[in-house]
Structure 1
Amino acid sequence: MLKSIIPKLPMRNKATTKAYYHNLGFKQLGETDYDGYLMIKKDDIEIHFFEFKDLDPNQNYGQVYIRTNDVEGMYDYCKKNTVKIHPNGPLEIKPWGTKEFALMDPDSNLLTFGQIV
């Protein structure tokens, strides 16, 4: 039986990635600091990152859709913490019945937060 999914996204610089996601409220998972690998967690969401120093952010199509039960709260949190909202991803109700917004991390991984309305 399937229980969860944990995306693995590329990162160029572990310290930069860790700082960006810390600003989103994520914490490092566990006490061990793995070389070239980062695991973070917020609430029930876990994301892993692998080091890819030669990543061209303009060629990265990593994407994660994160379902939430308080998209407006997450949106307000991001704005309060000066997290840049993707120019094409403002908070809005989509034709498919979800309220969403999107962010782009420093490596051009797209994060979309959505709630069924």
Structure 2
Amino acid sequence: MDDEQAPPFARARAAAGALFFDDGGRVMLVRPTYKHYLDIPGGCVEPGETPYEACVREVREELGIQPAIGRLLAVDWAPLPEGGDRVLFVFDGGTLDGETPERERPGTVKEPPLP
């Protein structure tokens, strides 16, 4: 089969995030300034970065904390016509305890900082 007959390949961007819980089983969601919906902390994988490294970096950037990020929980395909398809890597962020600042505990929405 020559190149003209070959089917096109998918060109998806990779994104990674962490799923955090509290002792009550609540999940942490954030309200990114660039989205109109709540999401788990995370973002796009940068060139030369593994999904795990991207997850650690994004959690540090978005929440200002550096908890131990655990194992890979899920990989998902997100077809997004307006922004391009994504392969999503979700890692175990663990349980955040009383030592975590209130604004970063599950069950609270982290509002974006004021400009």
Bigger helix share: 1
Question: Greater RCO between the two (CA within 8 Å, min separation 6)?
Answer: 2
**Range into which the TM-score falls when normalised by the shorter chain:** under 0.3
**How does the TM-score come out when normalised to structure 2?**
0.24
